[in-house]
Amino acid sequence: MINTALKKTASMLVAATDGETSMIRVKNVCFGGKQIPVIAGPCAIENEDNLRETAFKVRAAGAVMLRGGAYKPRTSPYSFQGHGRSGLQCLARVGEEMNMPVITELMDGEDLDAVMEYSDIIQIGARNMYNYSLLRKLGKINKPVVLKRGLSATIEEWLLAAEYILAGGNKQVILCERGIRSAETWTRNTLDLNAVALVKQLSHLPVIVDPSHGTGVRSLVGPMSMAAVAAGADGLMIEVHPRPETALSDGEQSLTPRGFSQLMRQLEALVAVMGRRVR
């Protein structure tokens, strides 16, 4: 099966060439090398004080990049949708203060210029993996893109989505496994760690994992982070909130700063055995 899949991707820009993972640098952070960067922060940017507190604590624990959503794709139109441009400005200010590159999600092509201005790397969420017109626009920019796997996307569909960006000339693509829908109801999604190991064979692109969305359960984020790294992940994206019980978005899957610090210590021990590092 793997050999067949390799043949399918043989002529594609995502295809593995010499077994090496491409390295993508975002300021002082590198994806695809010995380092396993950890991206951390709240699901949504609620206010500047909350974001600053979170950034200070995750940086102290070893996170090297700050995440935060300014535009939030929510299932319900009545849920908190984010602060938009003012949220982007807040994220940029805090990232500069903390000397951390920042990442945020782009939902609509109309917001591309604003997201380009205030973020160091652009995230394309699961719902937009199939938005090919948006992916084509991202192929024309000179900024790294994290492409999350669609909710029910096959690995081939995910790689072909990345191909839209690469074919446009932007070679700075990082894949993100964030769980897929399955028959299981005890977790938010089913985190497909098979995909991490397989895509590392099929593609030269770095692959990171989002165990927060992958499970939707706070107590599972740590074990799945460790498993993702063991499977070969080139980075992690973890949601952290100083007071998850009051979070406006995804509090049930967000680690507390203390929980995040404990996880980072566990990760440091694991990656040392693997000859890698998290900071």
For the chain, the structural domain boundaries read 33-273
What average pLDDT does the structure give for the chain?
Answer: 94
Whether residue 74 is predicted with pLDDT greater than 80 in this model: the reply is: no
Counting residues of the chain whose pLDDT is more than 70, the rounded percentage is 95
Mean pLDDT of 241-247: 97
Give me the mean pLDDT over the 202-224 stretch.
98
Calpha distance 14→10 (Å, rounded): 9
Q: What is the pLDDT of residue 10?
A: 46
Q: Decide if pLDDT at 7 tops 80.
A: no
**Band of residue 81 on the pLDDT scale cut at 50, 70, 90:** confident
3-30: b (≥16 Cβ within 10 Å) or e: eebeeebeebbbbbeeeebbebebeebb
More confident residue, 229 or 5: 229
How far, in Å, CA of 263 to CA of 221, rounded?
9
Share of the chain above pLDDT 90, in %: 89
Confidence of residue 56 (pLDDT cuts 50, 70, 90): very high
Residue 8 or residue 168, greater confidence: 168
Distance CA 186, CA 245 (A): 20
Question: Domain 33-273, what fold?
Answer: TIM Barrel (3.20.20)
pTM: 0.94
